[in-house]
Structure 1
Amino acid sequence: MRGADEASGSLFSYVDLKERVPERHPLRLIRRIVNEALASLDAKFDVLYTDFGRPSIAPERLIRASLLQILFSIRSERQLMEQMNYNLLFRWVVGLGIDDRVCLALGADKGYDSAEIIAALRHMVVTPNVAQKARHSAIEGRTTQHPGYALTQRHRMKIEEPFGWAKTVGGMAQTLHRRLDRVRATFTMNMAACNLARLPKLLAA
């Protein structure tokens, strides 16, 4: 079931995240462009999710978080979650309210399918969408029963962009992935992030 892309503000919170972001900050324009693109994909997102079951993390939030990870050269999902716990700018860009719980899904290969890693991910409130080992898997049915798990396994890829930018900013100097399709997906997303990073200056010219 597709999760809603809505920030739930607190009744007792006086922090307006948008007001904390400087008017001329480049992420304001980038976020607007990304949101317009995501809105055009709304119908396609709906097709990918069932209308029943536990709500997933909104795909829009996952995409915004992935873009932040690339744009700010954050090396892991764990570091990204730590940043979103205290970074108001990141919370605003992703679409989280000031009191919203940070919750992400980690897609990874079978090397991450161990009881210790899965327990650590759950402790951090990260959904372990990790590929299962053929035998002695630590991934239980409560994870694999959801449509989002199968979707993650098909689209478990990173994000990327132009060769020089991808290697220095996007962390592509040494890829963490195998298989051409995964590497291709990572490169495509980095290209999008690289273009987004350049857009504010190009549009202002």
Structure 2
Amino acid sequence: MRGNDTFTESLFSVRKLEDFVPSAHPLRSIRVMANDALAKMDRLFARMYEADVKGGRPSIAPEKLLRAMLLQVLFSIRSERQLMEQVQYNLLFRWFIGLAMDDVVWVPTVFTKNRERLIKHDAVIEFFNEVVKIAGKKELLSGEHFSVDGTLIHAWAGHKSFVRKDSDDQNNEGGDDKGDFKGSKRSNETHQSKTDPEARLYRKGKTASELRYMGHTLSDNRHGLIVNARVTCADGHAEREAAKVMLNDARQAIDDDRVEITVGADKGYDAQEFIEACQEMKVTPHVAQNTSGRRSAVADTIAASVGYAISQQKRKLIEQGFGWVKTVGRMRQVTVRGLKRVDQMFVLNMAAYNLVRLRSLGQVRL
């Protein structure tokens, strides 16, 4: 017998949001790990709001804000406005964030303003560090063998915004009155983007010159998990300088200087000053030798070792993180402006990547 095309809604419902989420859904394990990391940040959250006037209107809970930002990364959502739209009707999103069915969804502009507080207090960096600690407790990190690399990030600014620094005419966009910059000589010393002043015109290899930032990561060789991440202005020395900072942090995390630390890297890091800096930090540089018309700064005795060959094989795992954040995380071209905001989004993306990897590694171990 054919059923009737009717819709009868119950006056009351006794089902919880938990009931609508499948028991084997990937977000379940990710939410558990994210909540463990957020629970360790309670003191930081308290300091973030201690200066607020008592009795004022409550802001968005930072835990819910960070979980919402994670969703934006995990599901490749373009903007806060689109995120809030989906939270309005998506029960899975409401459950992950911690919003009940009757809770009012935040206004996108309020969401964006509250996110600035996280930047001011480095809350995203702290969240990333707590996720790394979870990986350490699960014994998924070697803590001794690393790889380092960098990647280019397109800034949210176009060529026509790149104008002379000493120009008073805001309509003169790098060339004539029509904004025709072709044939004109431009450099970061004389020009600056009106849209994003901290972006730098940069090219690498056979790529075209674009306004860019540069993202850097330090990965653990055991499973390719990211243990350090940061964004700098793009230039020819940024990769090596950021690598030295991240390796110094890794060395300081190990109290015993007798523990050997190794770092794998591509030929771009084969520079005398970088190799010497690694040796001063007691880090063995397993850097790919660059012998194209020059002599490599990496000693042949290091290049002939078994560990060197393993590091060169393992260092390719770091590319998986870059590929994930540029496709899923939409970091190929950022939609925020300013070094601090780009750095926040990059670190958050790497934290999300680690959570996905931890979930997958947990499944494999089972």
The TM tier, using the shorter chain, reads 0.5 to 0.7
Mark the CA change 1:72 to 1:158 in structure 2 (over 3 Å): closer, same or farther: farther
- Letter of the aligned partner of 1:67 in structure 2? L
Mark the CA change 1:104 to 1:67 in structure 2 (over 3 Å): closer, same or farther: farther
Aligned to 2:362: 203
Aligned to 1:42: 42
- Larger RCO of the pair (alpha carbons < 8 Å, separation 6+): 1
Aligned to 2:25: 25
What displacement does 1:183 show?
2.0
Q: Please say if 1:99 is aligned against 2:105.
A: no
Determine the C-alpha separation between the residues in 1 that align with 2:115 and 2:324.
Answer: 31
Structure (1/2) with the larger strand percentage:
2
Are the counterparts in 2 of residues 156 and 182 from structure 1 also a CA contact under 8 Å?
A: no
Structure (1/2) with the larger helix percentage:
1
Aligned to 2:246: none
- Letter of the aligned partner of 1:27 in structure 2? L
Q: TM-score, normalised by structure 2?
A: 0.39
Q: TM-score, normalised by structure 1?
A: 0.67
Unaligned runs of 5+ in 1: 1-11, 107-125, 130-147
Tell me the secondary structure at the aligned position of residue 175 of structure 1.
Answer: coil
What displacement does 1:42 show?
0.8
What displacement does 1:181 show?
2.9
Aligned to 2:174: none
Alignment RMSD: 2.8
Unaligned runs of 5+ in 2: 1-11, 126-214, 216-228, 230-320
What displacement does 1:153 show?
7.0
Instruction: Give the % identical residues.
Output: 54
Tell me the secondary structure at the aligned position of residue 332 of structure 2.
Answer: coil
What displacement does 1:104 show?
4.9
Are the counterparts in 1 of residues 48 and 121 from structure 2 also a CA contact under 8 Å?
A: no
Aligned positions, number: 157
- Letter of the aligned partner of 1:194 in structure 2? Y
Determine the C-alpha separation between the residues in 1 that align with 2:60 and 2:49.
Answer: 11
Higher alpha-carbon deviation: 90-99 or 192-201: 192-201
Larger Rg: 2
Specify which of 331, 336, 357 is matched with residue 172 of structure 1.
331
Measured against aligned partners, the alpha-carbon deviations of 1:35-66 in whole angstroms (never above 9, x if no partner) come to 11111111110111136121111000000000
Are the counterparts in 1 of residues 118 and 124 from structure 2 also a CA contact under 8 Å?
A: no
Mark the CA change 1:155 to 1:75 in structure 2 (over 3 Å): closer, same or farther: farther
Q: Please say if 1:66 is aligned against 2:69.
A: yes
Aligned to 1:76: 79
Measured against aligned partners, the alpha-carbon deviations of 1:125-165 in whole angstroms (never above 9, x if no partner) come to x4562xxxxxxxxxxxxxxxxxx697367369999983211
What displacement does 1:179 show?
3.2
- Letter of the aligned partner of 1:189 in structure 2? L
Mark the CA change 1:128 to 1:29 in structure 2 (over 3 Å): closer, same or farther: closer
Are the counterparts in 1 of residues 30 and 355 from structure 2 also a CA contact under 8 Å?
A: yes
